[in-house]
Structure 1
């Protein structure tokens, strides 16, 4: 049985722990938090009886895998440490803030013969497999992705307080915490991104809160994206070809997936035959399969999706910070 340690005490870690409980191949053995008191509260809340530590060294003898769900800005250094200690790493999105760091992590994983995977949930869902197959069949040329979700931290932001997700070092706001979803999903569906155009609204500390993005993929498909952590959106996402339109809700779970024909009043609901309510079980299963089969080829393929997405986010950041061209006022 593979032993798993966790970093973080947020809701996503609770969801991951529940996914582990459904899998007979793993057990949670260790929990890290900078505060042992916080770790004890989290352990009681999640009915865990595990070793609780406030430093990484104490974890090493008790784990084979580390699941990292710390603030975004800590991902690279923490993943690097555990990979160098020859531990498998499941790393929450975004894997890092720059492409070169993800490439470095990939090379360290290969050198140490351990598996590294970004926990990007959408591409491991049964619904994604149906969506990808349908996308390949209808040959789209344009997609509109909407990911607008009111942050639970907005009350702090409105008081000019910036918790980790909106911190310029630890989180970087909507750019890395939210935009990663539509950007990486677009790359997985339509192929590598080669060009970006972008604009953003920023908070007083210079961190993004709303983003408008246009992507051009290498195959010349366009993806337009509206992304916000300041509001709850209602619009569906859609993928368009000459004869068909695919619509769906919620980029993280791909709900209500429907295929529409252009010339007929015809809709086909596309659903997976069986799904697990805990959507993290799918990424966990993929990760464990990579470990058990030593499938470094598939590991590299998945990491290349991450690398392309992080590179696109870097390009978006540069593009939206450039001085725009202004049109003269019409007299």
Structure 2
């Protein structure tokens, strides 16, 4: 079978992490590095060992030289770049969040269907078997009544903001901020563990750029509630917690779980090591390769991504009304 010739769009650190993962997926051949800045494309390609470069996206998409793109540009640019690729019959792997809104991703799903192409959100945790293991352990705690999920990692780029600069990940015009960057991990894990909530409300802590530096949310289900916390301007190593009527399950990370611990009301405790690669992006790359190779039923993948983005929409709308 011919390898999938893929171009990267973007030159940020996440693209380097993607390249490490793609190197472990033999179906993928990264052939081109795209950047709107030609010199940046050349530098990045040389450092990453990518044979070709491009700074003209329409020409690249029409060239016939690639089969797929990995889009890791600023969030606000995802939609137009992905739609252009799909219109050209080029498959698209979109770094999370796939798009800033659910409506935009719905449009991309429809466009992909029209052109017999694949579009997939690169949500690493959704394809990590460790999340499935956590989901299996949830059954042990009995009926769930509340859960607390969080991801708080202070970005080194926040120092640039404090110095008066506006950087992409904290630029609201580019759909930057804590909700889009880290909050989506919490929401995606919640959707994967419990399904889409009936409603969600939230509030954020704005920073000088106008983006949200941190935030909190409450999601309501028929018989339990989930609180979410996320931040790019503070840090926390507090584990996640799922409380049931028979006990509590804690685990370390919504993005890359590596351990989980059950504490039941009968006094028993059990720790589970969730082995996996350091770079769990490999699982999303494998799923993308499967879809491109012929398993074109991405309905479950799209449903999870859309449910996540609908929660994002609800949180942004509620926070805007509050402010």
TM-score normalised to structure 1 length: 0.91
Question: Quick check: 1:203 aligned with 2:202?
Answer: no
Deviations 1:291-330 (A, max 9, x none): 223332xx12111111111111111112123348xxxxxx
- CA shift, 1:30, in A, is 0.9
- CA shift, 1:136, in A, is 4.2
Secondary structure of the residue that 1:82 maps to in structure 2? helix
Question: Quick check: 1:154 aligned with 2:158?
Answer: yes
Question: Quick check: 1:101 aligned with 2:104?
Answer: yes
Provide the residue aligned with 2:136 in structure 1: 133
Deviations 1:154-175 (A, max 9, x none): 1111123221111111133112
Distance between the aligned counterparts of 2:66 and 2:140, measured in 1? 43
Instruction: Answer yes or no: is the 8 Å Cα contact 1:68–1:92 preserved in 2.
Output: yes
Moved over 6 A (4+): none
| Structure 1 vs Structure 2 CA RMSD | 1.6
Instruction: Answer yes or no: is the 8 Å Cα contact 1:3–1:63 preserved in 2.
Output: yes
Bigger drift between 300-309 and 66-75 goes to 300-309
Instruction: Answer yes or no: is the 8 Å Cα contact 1:181–1:251 preserved in 2.
Output: yes
Question: Quick check: 1:243 aligned with 2:243?
Answer: no
Distance between the aligned counterparts of 1:205 and 1:132, measured in 2? 38
- CA shift, 1:25, in A, is 1.3
5+ residue gaps, structure 1: 325-331
> 1:196/1:136 Cα in 2 relative to 1: closer, same or farther (>3 Å)?
same
Secondary structure of the residue that 1:246 maps to in structure 2? strand
> 1:28/1:203 Cα in 2 relative to 1: closer, same or farther (>3 Å)?
same
- CA shift, 1:101, in A, is 0.6
Deviations 1:165-206 (A, max 9, x none): 111111331121221110111011100122112121112332
Instruction: Answer yes or no: is the 8 Å Cα contact 1:259–1:270 preserved in 2.
Output: no
Q: 1:189 aligns with which of 193, 198, 204?
A: 193
- CA shift, 1:221, in A, is 3.1
Distance between the aligned counterparts of 1:251 and 1:194, measured in 2? 21
Instruction: Answer yes or no: is the 8 Å Cα contact 2:100–2:175 preserved in 1.
Output: no
Distance between the aligned counterparts of 2:95 and 2:113, measured in 1? 19
Distance between the aligned counterparts of 1:172 and 1:127, measured in 2? 28
Provide the residue aligned with 2:179 in structure 1: 175
Distance between the aligned counterparts of 2:156 and 2:85, measured in 1? 31
- Listed as ranges, the matches of 1:287-302 within 5 Å are 287-296=288-297, 299-302=298-301
TM-score normalised to structure 2 length: 0.94
Provide the residue aligned with 1:56 in structure 2: 57
Instruction: Answer yes or no: is the 8 Å Cα contact 2:257–2:274 preserved in 1.
Output: no
